[in-house]
Structure 1
Amino acid sequence: MTDIQGAMRKTGGHRDFAADEQGRGPGVPSALTNNPKAGQWDGRRLSRGIVADYKRLVMTDGEGIRCSLYVSGCPFRCQGCYNASIWDFGAGHPYTRELEDQIIKDLSLSYVQGITYLGGEPLLNTPMLLGLSARIRREFGHEKDIWCWTGYTWEELNRPGETPDKAQLISYLDVLVDGRYLENRKNSLLQFRGSDNQRIIDVPRSLEQGQVVIWPKLHDQTRFIPETYSKDRQQEQQRG
């Protein structure tokens, strides 16, 4: 069996790497797996329509009170990923019309600001998210915002040869948090990011200007609050 045949067997017969490459892709862990070429990973083939979780009324996955949809499957496999259990595209349960209706019902609440797509890799689950995003825009316009986390960088998503479904999903987004999580650049002071290579991108302005425009409400911490609070408490106790 050749390397390519072995890779295709591991990924269910899908050729998820470029034609001139061997031994590379989601089913073949390697030093190259984390850096796909343009069009190498196609969510229209890789996605199995599976979600790992749906959370209502959360305040940790973007600005304001939100709904968060965690999709399954991510070939980036970042070291230190807190959601490694859902790297598998089959981990979880099927995305259903009933779930979509519940999401729309939750978004209709006046105090819910929007929805966030996480994972897993949302840009490789476009068969689910394109339909949901279109419905959100039909029913709410831009009254509700759409955030998305991705392992791709903005530049990778917009390079020649990337699959068109990714650009279609980006067109629905308001905010994109881009880039792999890099454990050696972890920074707990960052707002809505894990490592300092990641960016919070204002999608409409970036598309309009043809370059990355950072979300204008970015506000990283300058000190670690729990640690500072603990030191203050210790000093108070010593004085008392």
Structure 2
Amino acid sequence: MYYGEIKNCDIADGIGVRVSLFVSGCRHHCDGCFNAMTWDFEYGRPFTEETENELLEMLSPDYIDGLTLLGGEPMEPDNQRALVPFMRRVREKYPDKSIWCYTGCVLEDELLRESTWRCEYTDEMLSMIDVLVDGRFILARRNISLAFRGSDNQRIIDLKKTLAQGNTITLDLD
């Protein structure tokens, strides 16, 4: 897996102060995407053990609330295969920090059912995510007044509650 950028002290991509990892590779190709350069699976730098260690160090201060995964597309199967072992390390070292994930996939249709997005790591990855922002960016539905998303079709899902209860629980942050 490659990544395009790491942001330390990010306040735009989730509640609180976060470390954000922008992975490379995305097949959605949403019109108006703010990060189209990350569609290329080899954009940026290789995601290595050294990268993981740097991210873990960035997560260490008490004022950092958690990790955000975005891109590109974290739910690309090849990206899931690289992210899940890293997420295990995050959960082990920082069990009280939250993990947010942005995906163009729709939870019920593409991540919880058989689809090209699911792989042997999908269920484990979903189990480690606290908040999932799902749905493709739709330029015609763009709304800059929304918290933590770009278009009004996208949802901010409390994934822990959703998986536990079996129905989608969204957070209303607007």
The normalised TM-score by structure 2 is 0.94
Of 25, 38, 41, the match for 1:89: 41
Q: Whole-Å Cα distance in 2 between the matches of residues 181 and 61 of structure 1?
A: 15
**Residues 1:149 and 2:102 are matched in the alignment:** yes
Q: Whole-Å Cα distance in 2 between the matches of residues 164 and 131 of structure 1?
A: 13
| Structure (1/2) with the larger strand percentage | 2
Aligned to 1:165: 121
**Residues 1:189 and 2:150 are matched in the alignment:** no
4+ residue runs of structure 1 moved beyond 2 angstroms? Answer: 160-164
Instruction: Please give the per-residue CA displacement for 1:79-100, whole angstroms capped at 9, x wherever unaligned.
Output: 0001111101011110111111
Instruction: Please give the per-residue CA displacement for 1:194-227, whole angstroms capped at 9, x wherever unaligned.
Output: 1111000001100011111012xx222xxxxxxx
Pairwise CA RMSD of aligned residues? 1.0
Number of corresponding residues: 169
Larger radius of gyration: 1
Give ranges in structure 1 of 5+ residues lacking alignment. Answer: 1-48, 221-240
Between the aligned residues of both structures, percent identity stands at 44
The structure with higher relative contact order (CA 8 Å, sep 6+) is 2
Aligned to 2:11: 59
Give ranges in structure 2 of 5+ residues lacking alignment. Answer: none
Aligned to 2:169: 213
Instruction: Please give the per-residue CA displacement for 1:54-105, whole angstroms capped at 9, x wherever unaligned.
Output: 1111111100000000000000000000111110101111011111111111
Q: Whole-Å Cα distance in 1 between the matches of residues 122 and 31 of structure 2?
A: 24
Q: Secondary structure at the match of 1:148?
A: strand
Aligned to 2:94: 140
- 1:132 to partner: Cα distance: 1.1
Q: Secondary structure at the match of 2:75?
A: helix
